[in-house]
Amino acid sequence: MEIQHLLLIDIDGLRGDIFRQALEAGKIPNLARLLGGPSAARGLLVPALSTAPSVTFCAQASLFTGAHPKAHGIPGNQFFDRFGKHNHGIPRHYAFDVGDTLAVDDAVLVFTNRLAANCLEAPTIYEIADAWGWRSVVAGHMYAKGAETWLRPSVVDLARFTKGGDLFGMSSQEYDRSILEKTIAHIKKHGLPNILTCYMMGLDHESHVHSPNIQLEYLSTGIDPLVGKLWAAIENALPTEDQDKLLCAVFSDHGQISVVPDDRHSLRLAFPFEREMGHLFDALGLDVHDYPGEDPDCDAVVASNGGMAHVYLRNPKESWQERPDFETDVLPVAKAFWQAHQSGEYAAELQGALNSVLLRDVKTHGWTAPYQALIPSGEIVSLESWFANQPAELSIDPVARLDNLAGPYTGDLLLISNYAEGFYFSGLLEGVHGGLHPADSCATMAFGWPHACAETWQQASNQIKNAIAARCAQENGRQPSVADLLTGLMSAISMVEK
């Protein structure tokens, strides 16, 4: 028995515990069918962690390249390319989620001009499969590099979905349905490709607006019926004798955590009014990037990613491409953030807002320098030491995830918000992700081969588990992550040589 088709169901923001709960309670019969039925007789659930930060563009890049952020080059929904590698040598702040600086063009270009995909520095599964002669179709996703067909959401639908409001808005279920309808229409016209990716953003959007408490209901009543319609179209498109050649995966990029939806807990850097972090840079005499287009002509850039924020610092006498001095450019700003957290000095709005201030010395160790932790007393300690002395329930596998983040496009500082008190780096929301907490870090990852015989599935299941375990062991014993989706898929496909 061989695998000739992959069905990849990508549900943005779905917490791993919610998926398991829904599966065990029988609330998602159509998704369960992809795993062999209600008892998941042909399914394997992997407890996978998101990237750090646990945000969409970073984690989705890991899902579809199999690479960690330090290798694929997308360290967040927002980040700063101080070298201008993808911008003709001109430093550029990217805000694929629009962000505080209202970079609307970035959010549009993600789906109209492949902006995010063009920043990838690792090959996608579609590029790998193209070498086998496989045909790929990608529906609704931002990373379609290498796919034969990209079924993009319309700009109008995106605008209505994200910014339309009550009058002109598009509901999450309407948006997800539009993606599914395009996918089904394509299957009916062109048949089933070798790889079909279907990406649904509605659950994540609902979680931001209504808190993660909405996830079980939306998964069961919003997503599962759509998957049923898709599955019916797939079965109609596949001859009976070929249905045992379809491998499925149901997965997400990150989870969600509830936060406090008020101005006190929402930490922003938006000109001219929402400048909670801006006041700190003002007090230090640093011009911080706080409006669109200011990118190269400033001393500091903040890239907000929910539970985490990159801070990029420039030696005022040098260009952005030069390494900042640790003692004069980096350390004073890191200490100022702790002082603001402890006493409100420099920025009263930051008092009580931080969990961790991490920093690194790229002047000495280069652009891939690892992070260390600055403790409130001013001493610098290892990440292992810092997190060993933090409440264990606040983070999961933090050292490995942060080590797999540090690279040329990450900040000189990395701020982690105080989730325990409801703080986050974003506009007002009910639910957030981006940090290291189990709630926003534990993603969904399930493999299924619904029409395989028991013996073949057992062999494939063992192969997937062993391949992921071997990779984790080789990478310093880390826990399984979203970067292991491809590890699992490739190991199952390798049961039959291409």
- Ranges for all domains in the chain classified under CATH 3.40.720.10: 5-74+120-259+437-493
Return the pLDDT at 317.
87
- For every residue of the chain, which 3-state class applies, written as one string? CCCCEEEEEEECCCCHHHHHHHHHCCCCHHHHHCCCCCCCCCEEECCCECCCCCCHHHHHHHHHHCCCHHHHCCCCCEEEECCCCCCCCCCEEEECCCCCCCCHHHHHHHHHCCHHHHHCCCCCHHHHHHCCCCCEEEECCCCCCCCCEEECCCHHHHHHHHHCHHHHCCCHHHHHHHHHHHHHHHHHHHCCCCEEEEEECHHHHHHHHHCHHHHHHHHHHHHHHHHHHHHHHHHHHCCHHHHHHEEEEEECCCCCEECCCCCCCECCCCCCCCCCCHHHHHHCCCCECCCCCCCCCCCEEEEEEECEEEEEECCCCCCCCCCCCHHHHHHHHHHHHHHHHHHCCCCHHHCCCEEEEEECCHHHHCCCCCCEEECCCCCEECHHHHHHCCCHHHCCCHHHHHHCCCCCCCCCEEEEECHHHCCEECCCCCEECCCCCHHHHECCEEEECCCCCHHHHHHHHHHHHHHHHHHHHHCCCCCCEHHHHHHHHHHHHCCCCC
Return the pLDDT at 169.
73
Return the pLDDT at 429.
96
Single pTM value for the model: 0.96
Q: Which CATH architecture has domain 5-74+120-259+437-493?
A: 3-Layer(aba) Sandwich (3.40)
Return the pLDDT at 1.
62
Which residue ranges of the chain lie beneath pLDDT 50? 166-167, 497-498
Return the pLDDT at 167.
46
Return the pLDDT at 99.
77
Return the pLDDT at 319.
94
Return the pLDDT at 327.
97
Return the pLDDT at 102.
63
Return the pLDDT at 237.
96
